[in-house]
Chain A
Amino acid sequence: MTTHPEPVAYPFSEPDRLVVHPRYGELRDQGELERVQLPFGKPTWLATRHEDVKIVLGDPRFSREKALGEDEPRILSFTHRPDSILTMDPPGHTRLRKAVARAFTKRRIETIRPRTQQIVDELLDEMVAAGDTADLVRQFALAVPMMVICELLGGPYEDRHKFHHWSEILASTRSSKHTKEDIAQADKELRDYLAELVDTKRANPGDDLLSVLVETEQTDDPLTPEEIVGLAWSVLLAGFEITTNMLVNSVYLLLTNPDQREQLVQEAGLLEKAVEELLRFVPLTVGSFFPRMALEDVELSGTLVRKGETVLPSTLAANRDEAVFPNADQLDFHRDSNAHLTFSYGIHHCLGAPLARMELQVAIGTLLRRLPGLRLVAEDELPWRSGSILRGPSSLLVTW
């Protein structure tokens, strides 16, 4: 029987704006893993160095699926479904991932860039026409990912508001906002809706996500109709709220870092690099999530992780590792390489990464170009999210 240090409470503190808690840096420098206790589940190890985090995420000696259940160290109370793309191990995971991957290659995503540009332009037209101040969260950042996802899904345009309603209920990480009944109702309605849409696509295939999934029915490894609906469901909801939050935090950082913003305005070619740097720099969540279980003994930076123990991979700490990112606490749009782990690493590397990148590039590039005078109305009084796993301003009152 090995004895472990007494676990410390995690997350280390309530979030303070976008400040990264200093404990992450101390741990990275010491090199050893920290023993932590989350609000739910058993104590776990916390990995903070870039190299260690990559091993936990990418090495087949670690399993996501085996870490699930009531014991899973987690920030919110609900337990994750073991049969979704986000939680399965190979070979089940590979089978699902292969089926959706074709809808998300960089090449496919480029084909919806023009439509995304149009969506962004229309939203800004509306915003500017309506007055001279606006809440960028409500009037812009929530709408962009939602509308792009509708596009991707290939449903009729008129169904947008229905989809908005369901996703608002289902993709909300604020546990208290909706009742269990509301959530169950929205879940059922969305699944029924997707099942109907799948039937339409079967009769009349297009170039969209559901059509790509339906096409697998013609291969020798077909997905069942339930699997298609389940997969579409998780793809749609996995990428909705987090993209909004990333966009809000990016705009907040640009508006509060005038030098960096000016560089981006002067040099439009910097946009891609700037988006990567914002992805690295923003601590998107109140703490790390999605622990992995060791399938055998593994040594990480001097700590022996025993078979059956879990490790929480802290991508947000890894993103500030000086060994990989010199002057890591500096927001620097000129970094040559940017191996950030914000989209994770290994088999669960974010499926929507090419889509999220494209959306962020279009949204941020267009905002800065069309509203050169954009500024916060009252920086000191920004409301910040609470009761959610995501962190960032909950509204962003701006003028231009």
Chain B
Amino acid sequence: MSGWSVEIDARTCIGTGMCVGAAPKYFQRKSSKSVPVHDHVEPDEDLLDAAFACPAEAIRVRDEATGDVLVPEA
């Protein structure tokens, strides 16, 4: 399967809204936290940029073909 998977860890998300503001296509507000709009997406640099900027490192983006974790950095 090609494409990326996107997850937000609800326990670590501190609800800054940073990701929603930076990439509204991919993230949305849900009560005081944020959640991905889609769990599976086509590769897109805009998504990575927003994920990298999460102060809580709560966003995980994975390449579904290789299983590599793209964000957060190890």
A-side residues, CB < 8 A to B, are: 54, 57-60, 90-91, 93-95, 97-98, 101-102, 104-107, 337, 339, 343, 345-349, 351, 353-354
- Residue of B21, B49, B50, B57 touching A58 (CB-CB under 8 A): B21
- B window 9-34: CB within 8 A of A: 15-18, 20-22, 24, 29, 32
Contact status A349-B49, CB under 8 Å: no
The smallest C-beta distance from B71 to any residue of chain A, in angstroms, reads: 11
- Residue of A93, A94, A337 touching B32 (CB-CB under 8 A): A337
- Complex CA gap A57/B53 in Å reads 17
Contact status A349-B56, CB under 8 Å: no
Task: Known A94-B49, A94-B50, A354-B55; judge A57-B22 contact (CB<8 A).
Answer: no
- Complex CA gap A107/B57 in Å reads 9
- Complex CA gap A354/B18 in Å reads 14
B54 at interface by CB-CB < 8 Å:
yes
Contact status A102-B52, CB under 8 Å: yes
Query: How would you classify the secondary structure of chain A's contact residues: helix, strand, loop or mixed?
Result: helix
- Complex CA gap A349/B15 in Å reads 10
- Complex CA gap A98/B22 in Å reads 10
Contact status B22-A349, CB under 8 Å: no
B residues less than 8 Å from A58 (CB atoms):
17, 20-21, 29
A residues less than 8 Å from B21 (CB atoms):
58-60, 90, 346-348
B residues less than 8 Å from A337 (CB atoms):
32
Contact status B18-A347, CB under 8 Å: yes
Contact status B24-A60, CB under 8 Å: yes
| Residue on B nearest A57 in the bound complex, by CB | B17
The smallest C-beta distance from B48 to any residue of chain A, in angstroms, reads: 9
Task: Known A90-B22, A345-B17, A346-B20; judge A353-B52 contact (CB<8 A).
Answer: no
Q: Sorted from nearest, which 5 A-B pairs have the closest CB atoms?
A: A347-B21, A346-B21, A349-B16, A101-B53, A58-B17
- Complex CA gap A349/B13 in Å reads 13
Chosen A-B contacts, 25 in total, with CB atoms closer than 8 Å, are A58-B17, A58-B20, A58-B29, A59-B21, A90-B21, A90-B22, A94-B49, A94-B50, A95-B49, A97-B53, A98-B49, A101-B53, A101-B55, A102-B52, A102-B73, A104-B55, A106-B55, A106-B56, A107-B57, A339-B32, A347-B22, A348-B21, A349-B18, A349-B55, A354-B55
The smallest C-beta distance from A152 to any residue of chain B, in angstroms, reads: 15
Contact status B17-A105, CB under 8 Å: no
- Residue of B32, B52, B56, B57 touching A98 (CB-CB under 8 A): B52
The smallest C-beta distance from A114 to any residue of chain B, in angstroms, reads: 21
Query: How would you classify the secondary structure of chain B's contact residues: helix, strand, loop or mixed?
Result: loop
- Complex CA gap A348/B46 in Å reads 17
Interface size class of B (residues with CB under 8 A): 20 to 34
- Complex CA gap A98/B46 in Å reads 11
| Residue on B nearest A58 in the bound complex, by CB | B17
The smallest C-beta distance from B61 to any residue of chain A, in angstroms, reads: 13
- Complex CA gap A60/B16 in Å reads 14
A residues less than 8 Å from B24 (CB atoms):
60
Known: A58-B29, A101-B52, A349-B17. 10 other contacts (CB 8 A): A57-B17, A58-B21, A59-B21, A90-B21, A94-B49, A94-B50, A97-B53, A104-B55, A347-B17, A354-B55
- Complex CA gap A348/B17 in Å reads 9
B residues less than 8 Å from A339 (CB atoms):
15, 32
The smallest C-beta distance from B28 to any residue of chain A, in angstroms, reads: 11
The smallest C-beta distance from B32 to any residue of chain A, in angstroms, reads: 5
- Complex CA gap A315/B61 in Å reads 32
B residues less than 8 Å from A104 (CB atoms):
55
The smallest C-beta distance from A212 to any residue of chain B, in angstroms, reads: 11
| Residue on B nearest A89 in the bound complex, by CB | B21
- Complex CA gap A337/B32 in Å reads 10
- Complex CA gap A84/B63 in Å reads 33
A residues less than 8 Å from B16 (CB atoms):
343, 345-346, 349, 353
- Complex CA gap A95/B46 in Å reads 10
Contact status A106-B18, CB under 8 Å: no
| Residue on A nearest B31 in the bound complex, by CB | A339
